[in-house]
Amino acid sequence: MNNSTCLVLKFGGTSVKDAETINKVLNIVSIDNTKKVIIVSAHAGVTNLLVEICNSKKDTISSLLSQLYKIHSGIAKDLNILDSTKEFIMNELSEIDVITNYLPLSPQLKDVVMSKGEVLSSMLIYTYFKEQGKSIAFVDSREVMKTNSQFTNAELYFDLSCKNIEEQFLNYFDEYDLIIMGGFIASDEDGRPTTLGRGGSDYTAAVVSSALNATELQIWTDVNGILTSDPRFIEGVKKVRKLSYSEASELSFFGAKVLHPSTIHPAVKKGIPVRVKNTFNPNDDGTLVLSEKSNIEMIKAIAFRKDVITITLRSNRMLGAYGFMSKVFQSFEKLKIPVDIVTTSEVSISVTVNKNEYNPNIEKELSVLGEVTISEGNAIISAIGEGIKETAGIANRLFGALKGINISMVSVGASEVNLSIVVSEEDLQRAVTLLHNEFFNDSLNPVFFE
Ligand code: ADP
Ligand code: ASP
Ligand code: MG
């Protein structure tokens, strides 16, 4: 088949949360005859329950398993497919039950548990769509998506996975209109299940779109597109109509949960447009993410991330010395702590680290180089937009709007579309609201935001 005419649509957990929303998905994929790949997440809440199972004691497992049974059998019953899927659901859940005899779980066993959400959702939705008369094929993502054995956050063997996808999917498209596959899960060289990190279904979809050279990658979620900030955190957010790839990737990296941070890269390489759309409002155009820059004079959105730890190292030995910074970063490398923002002065260096990636041993490691201060309870706020480098005066407006808020670090991102500051978590809500008011008030041009 001509693979340039296929679409890849990814539906997140909220888009497949119950029978009603699964029917919305059915309508969306039935809209025309374009060949479509459907990538689905686990039903809403399921992955969180699986995480809980991984971190629980044996005596709470049966109640968590019965919650999982209730969710899946409830959806299957409402879709009228319980008879044909009950055994499958029971088998997958009893596999989890057996694994929990080995608590606390190794990362490898955790991934067996974590993979069940997408294993179940993809099979239930496939069964339902087939029973509704759709011409649809099922692909087990563990057979095509191949990774290393870094369980719970595995690295994809990109070229191998793309080759597998191309071979299998193009064959299926000769026979079927739709192909469905679970996101987020993969397997290592020995066939053991792996996962791609929370939110990883977006990444699966992006990889598939790249392998098939799809006309568009659509990320279907529960809001109208990429918004000027997190709607759960502040009021008055607006939809951004268009964004550049670099703006979207900075936005997701700095906390906007609407896209998985890695999503964009496979699409960028192939120049595939990415559209973020609302399953509950499919007629809205959503947000289009494109390789070219658009509305360059603008700030497009304000993202933020909580649970940030700031580490500051002061040392006179930094003055005029070479090799000092390299020693600092070697310490982070040794403990495998990823660093986000870095600022330096003549005699000090400050870096930020995510709380869940922090290792307290870093204090001891760095103390041989100088005086170390650790500050917890911080947040990063990032203003994102091509305007940061293109428009004079944006930084002035940003700092002007934040009068009275203590800013402990400032970084104009290497990507040039991101200006990030670090504030204390207590000031986060006020700071984001002030910035949002400054840049996204009512007088904005509706061509860019709505
Ligand atoms: P899904 O289940 O579709 O993967 P997610 O919960 O992962 O959905 O992501 C969508 C959510 O991201 C939205 O409901 C919204 O609350 C949140 N969000 C945070 N920042 C933004 C933003 N800038 N634009 C849009 N949504 C955002
Ligand atoms: N189900 C996984 C998660 O909740 C992957 C995803 O939804 O993208 O993180
Ligand atoms: Mg998501």
Average pLDDT score over residue span 279-286: 97
Q: How many Cβ atoms sit within 10 Å of the Cβ of residue 447?
A: 9
**Does the beta carbon of 280 lie inside 6 Å of ligand 1?**
no
Give the per-residue pLDDT at 445.
Answer: 57
Question: Strand 7-11 vs strand 193-195: parallel, antiparallel, or unpaired?
Answer: unpaired
Q: How many Cβ atoms sit within 10 Å of the Cβ of residue 149?
A: 15
Segment 195-247, tens digit of pLDDT: 999 999 999 999 999 999 999 999 999 999 999 999 999 999 999 999 999 99
Please tell me the distance between residue 103's alpha carbon and the centre of ligand 1 in angstroms.
Answer: 32
Q: Which of 230, 299, 439 to mutate to test the pocket of ligand 1 (most atoms within 8 A of CB)?
A: 230
Helix (H, G, I), strand (E, B) or coil at 12: coil
33 with 174, same domain: the answer is yes
CA dist 127 and 69 (Å) reads 17
Q: Which ligand is nearest to the CA of 153?
A: 2
Six-digit token string for 237: 């957010």
Nearest to 205 by CA among 2, 57, 7: 7
- Among residues of the chain, what percentage have pLDDT more than 70? 96
Q: Where are the beta strands (DSSP E) in 224-333?
A: 242-244, 274-278, 287-290, 301-314
Give the per-residue pLDDT at 346.
Answer: 84
Q: Does 359 fall in a domain? A: yes
Query: Positive or negative CA dihedral for 438, 439, 443, 449?
Result: negative
Six-digit token string for 240: 């951004």
Average pLDDT score over residue span 367-386: 96
Residue 4 has pLDDT above 60, yes or no: no
Q: Does 271 fall in a domain? A: no
Note residues around ion ligand 3 (Cβ under 5 angstroms): 12, 199
pTM for the model stands at 0.93
Query: Are the beta carbons of 138 and 123 closer than 8 angstroms?
Result: yes
77 with 211, same domain: the answer is yes
Residue 25, domain extent:
6-222
Helix (H, G, I), strand (E, B) or coil at 90: helix
Please tell me the distance between residue 229's alpha carbon and the centre of ligand 2 in angstroms.
Answer: 21
Q: Does 241 fall in a domain? A: no
201 with 348, same domain: the answer is no
From atom 8 of ligand 2, which residue's Cα is the shortest distance away?
199
Domain stops at, among 161, 187, 222: 222
Q: Does 242 fall in a domain? A: no
Number of domains in the chain: 2
Higher pLDDT, 323 or 349: 349
Residue 446 — very low, low, confident or very high, per pLDDT cuts 50/70/90? Answer: low
Segment 12-23, tens digit of pLDDT: 999 999 999 999
Residue 123 — very low, low, confident or very high, per pLDDT cuts 50/70/90? Answer: very high
Any residues with CB less than 8 A from the CB of 24 and at least 6 apart, and which? 15, 279, 280, 282
CATH code of 129's domain: 3.40.1160.10
Give the per-residue pLDDT at 441.
Answer: 79
Sheet with 216-221, side-by-side order of all strands: 136-139, 178-182, 36-40, 7-11, 216-221, 274-278, 287-290, 242-244
Amino acid letter, 218: Q
Q: Which atom of ligand 2 is nearest to the CA of 203?
A: 8
Q: Which of 25, 196, 223 to mutate to test the pocket of ligand 1 (most atoms within 8 A of CB)?
A: 223
What are the pocket residues of ligand 2 if the criterion is a CB atom closer than 6 Å to any ligand atom? 12-13, 41-42, 47, 117, 183-184, 198-202
Average pLDDT score over residue span 277-287: 97
Question: CB-based burial of residue 265 (10 Å sphere; 0-12 exposed, 13-18 middle, 19+ buried)?
Answer: middle
Average pLDDT score over residue span 385-396: 81
63 with 202, same domain: the answer is yes
Average pLDDT score over residue span 346-374: 95
86 with 213, same domain: the answer is yes
Segment 163-183, tens digit of pLDDT: 999 999 999 999 999 999 999
Q: Which atom of ligand 2 is nearest to the CA of 118?
A: 1
Please tell me the distance between residue 236's alpha carbon and the centre of ligand 2 in angstroms.
Answer: 27
CA dist 237 and 304 (Å) reads 14
Residue 320 has pLDDT above 90, yes or no: no
Residue 1 — very low, low, confident or very high, per pLDDT cuts 50/70/90? Answer: low
Lowest mean pLDDT among 102-106, 158-162, 377-381, 390-394: 390-394
Q: Which atom of ligand 2 is nearest to the CA of 42?
A: 1
Average pLDDT score over residue span 28-34: 96
Residue 99 has pLDDT above 90, yes or no: yes
Q: Does 116 fall in a domain? A: yes
**Does the beta carbon of 274 lie inside 6 Å of ligand 1?**
no
Q: For residue 220, what are the β-bridge partners? A: 11, 277
H/E run at residue 386: none
Query: Are the beta carbons of 261 and 250 closer than 8 angstroms?
Result: no
From atom 5 of ligand 2, which residue's Cα is the shortest distance away?
199
Please tell me the distance between residue 226's alpha carbon and the centre of ligand 1 in angstroms.
Answer: 8
Residue 3 has pLDDT above 50, yes or no: no
312 with 207, same domain: the answer is no
Give the per-residue pLDDT at 447.
Answer: 59
Q: Which ligand is nearest to the CA of 204?
A: 2
Q: Which atom of ligand 1 is nearest to the CA of 201?
A: 4
Query: Are the beta carbons of 293 and 244 closer than 8 angstroms?
Result: yes
Give the per-residue pLDDT at 2.
Answer: 47
Domain stops at, among 222, 239, 274: 222
216 with 311, same domain: the answer is no
Please tell me the distance between residue 121's alpha carbon and the centre of ligand 2 in angstroms.
Answer: 11
Residue 293 has pLDDT above 70, yes or no: yes
Q: Does 110 fall in a domain? A: yes
CATH code of 320's domain: 3.30.2130.10
Please state, in angstroms and as integers, the Cα–Cα distance from residue 437 to each residue in 148, 235, 236, 429, 434, following that order: 45, 10, 9, 12, 5
Task: For the chain, give percent helix, strand, coil, nearest 5.
Answer: 45, 20, 35
* Average pLDDT across the chain, whole number: 94
Q: Does 93 fall in a domain? A: yes
Q: Does 296 fall in a domain? A: no
**Does the beta carbon of 111 lie inside 6 Å of ligand 1?**
no
Domain stops at, among 222, 244, 263: 222
Q: Which ligand is nearest to the CA of 223?
A: 1
Any residues with CB less than 8 A from the CB of 414 and at least 6 apart, and which? none
Q: What is the DSSP letter of 237?
A: -
211 with 329, same domain: the answer is no
Query: Are the beta carbons of 226 and 258 closer than 8 angstroms?
Result: yes
Q: Which atom of ligand 2 is nearest to the CA of 200?
A: 8
**Does the beta carbon of 200 lie inside 6 Å of ligand 1?**
no
Most confident range, picked from 241-255, 276-290, 383-397, 429-443: 276-290
Higher pLDDT, 387 or 54: 54
**Does the beta carbon of 199 lie inside 6 Å of ligand 1?**
yes
